[in-house]
Structure 1
Amino acid sequence: MSLKGKNETLTTGHYARELKLEDILKLKSQDSKLVSKHVADKLELEARKNWDLFYKRNEDRFFKDRHWTRREFEELVQDGCNGKRMLEVGCGAGNLIYPLLEEGCEMFMYACDLSPRAIDLVKAHVLYSEKNVKAFQTDITTDEVLKEISEESLDIVTLIFVLSSIHPCKFHQVLRVLYRILKPRGVILFRDYGLYDMAQLRFKPGHKIADNLYMRQDGTRSYYFSEEYLAELLVGAGFEIVSNTYIQRRTVNKKDGIDVPRIFIQAKAKKPVVPTT
């Protein structure tokens, strides 16, 4: 990444927005002090513990219910989802599945998370019933999920702000496992952090682990995706891409005087039907 004139901006095809000189300098400063290999390895080993501590501190108060998912993904609208089977990966406290149930979506929903405490929160919800929801703890970077869900048995898998918390070396494994449990024509619905989101630019030196991968204060991690890299991952796992684009939003909190631009990435990918010979 080269610096040009004082007032010039850096632009290339895969950026969702132009980077100003101050943004470029922030990104360069992050490289001055990287997370040590020892700490990075420890974060990987203690990922489950760190997420369990996260839910111990925050319970169900941190993430807002995701009512927006039905506006973004037609597969979750009532007529499109009824009678289907879905898995929410990284379900947290159930902020995606319970709004769907409240709004009348009649499909069977699996919900899994790395944190046992998160699963306890899901099961404590007044709407939890194993007639339409089954929540379980699992590590989605392994094939443990196959103990709970049969291969080619799901219509929908959601990956909403989940893959970014996993080390990039395991991205392909996650997607291949999800490919196995989806039916032909089944879809992955994806949203996560986009490359050069404001949250990425705000990391100080000492928090960067690797390219576009960072450590938060609480020991959890955050990765920032480009369209090209996400497409490469999905195609590499065998999926056909239906859509893949940056989504620009704003985070506004008038009480705290916060109004910042955000960059997310949203995609839909389909498991193809393999012709029989």
Structure 2
Amino acid sequence: MIAPEKEEEAGCKDETMSPDVPGQTSASIVLSPEELDRLSSERPLVSDFKRMKLEKEAQKNWDLFYKRNTTNFFKDRHWTTREFEELRACRKFESQRLVLLEAGCGVGNCIFPLLEDDLNIFVYACDFSPRAVEFVKKNPLYCPERCCAFQCDLTKDDLRENVPEGSVDVVTLIFVLSAIHPEKMKLALQNISRVLKPEGIVLFRDYGLYDHAMLRFKACSKLRENFYVRQDGTRSYFFSKEILAELFEEAGFQPVANDYVLRETVNKKEGLCVPRVFLQSKFNKTSQLQSS
């Protein structure tokens, strides 16, 4: 089952992570000759019919994921304020209320630690899965005065129906864009741009090229270059920093920071140590997209 690889904080309780290794990129990941040959020679084996079916049923598959795992799969993300100082530093004055959009909020593993830690923050939180949004609303920490959760397909539902245009200071996009079909990623970023303030910032973290989860996939799981389907029907894309930068720039953003983070997942029980590659980036909005 590949699902426990969905992010670095998922799955087994006996796994520990090494500290981030600054200054290293995916070029530091040494692949074996066999791995290089396999990646270069693999051709997608998934039929066009199955690819279209997976796209059509994407929401259902994520809803089933949350039905099976409820709120127990991902750990709370207490690391966001450490990794992204903008969550504090982007205020122009100390008493300013920060308005944040968590795009792809899941069951609230990011937003609730932020709401507990920062009393002067308002969070809009959306997710593809209606079930995930219901879990957010049922959380004892959910308060409509400080948080507004709603279901949204970032690739087609206009965020402005729930979030005022140009009202958001910061967008967090954490392990979300990789689940979207590559041809629709730009649509999601343009949608996000419409609710960001001028010079607003997107804080991004997701799977990097040659992450261990990517190397575990077989050819029968490959949908297209760097894009794979898991056994549960959910999908994941693995980004190079060059492709990510190009994607954001085409959507009207300018890179502030964009680099790989290397970590190791250690499973003491199994005696395993595997390399993880994530991409951590920050992008400023540079142009106001026309309203449509």
Fold match (TM-score > 0.5):
yes
Matches within 5 A, 1:7-156: 15-28=27-40, 30-31=42-43, 34-77=45-88, 80=91, 83-156=97-170
Gaps of at least 5 residues in structure 2 are 1-24
**Cross-structure match for 1:192:** 206
Q: How big is the shift at 1:14?
A: 6.8
Q: How big is the shift at 1:66?
A: 0.7
Q: What are the Cα deviations for residues 17-44 of structure 1, in whole angstroms up to 9, with x where unaligned?
A: 232212213324642x511111110010
2:26, 2:277 within 8 Å by CA — same for their partners in 1?
A: no
With over 3 angstroms needed to count, the CA separation of the structure-2 counterparts of 1:153 and 1:215, relative to structure 1, is same
2:26, 2:208 within 8 Å by CA — same for their partners in 1?
A: no
* CA-atom RMSD in angstroms: 1.9
With over 3 angstroms needed to count, the CA separation of the structure-2 counterparts of 1:83 and 1:234, relative to structure 1, is same
Distance 2:271 2:124 in 1: 38
Distance 1:249 1:236 in 2: 30
**Cross-structure match for 1:3:** none
Q: How big is the shift at 1:180?
A: 1.0
**Cross-structure match for 2:240:** 226
Matches within 5 A, 1:167-186: 167-186=181-200
Q: What are the Cα deviations for residues 43-68 of structure 1, in whole angstroms up to 9, with x where unaligned?
A: 10001100000000000111111111
Q: What are the Cα deviations for residues 63-119 of structure 1, in whole angstroms up to 9, with x where unaligned?
A: 111111111101223885951111101100100001112223521001100101000
Distance 1:60 1:224 in 2: 25
Aligned sequence identity (%): 54
Greater mean deviation of Cα atoms: 101-110 or 85-94 = 101-110
Runs of 4+ that moved beyond 3 A: 13-16, 77-82
Normalised by the size of structure 1, how large is the TM-score? 0.89
Distance 1:257 1:120 in 2: 38
1:89, 1:162 within 8 Å by CA — same for their partners in 2?
A: yes
Distance 1:49 1:165 in 2: 13
**Cross-structure match for 1:262:** 276
Q: How big is the shift at 1:200?
A: 0.5
Distance 1:262 1:207 in 2: 19
SS at match of 2:86: helix
Distance 1:40 1:105 in 2: 44
Normalised by the size of structure 2, how large is the TM-score? 0.85
2:210, 2:277 within 8 Å by CA — same for their partners in 1?
A: yes
Distance 1:217 1:273 in 2: 40
Gaps of at least 5 residues in structure 1 are 1-12
With over 3 angstroms needed to count, the CA separation of the structure-2 counterparts of 1:62 and 1:37, relative to structure 1, is same
Distance 1:252 1:244 in 2: 26
SS at match of 2:259: strand
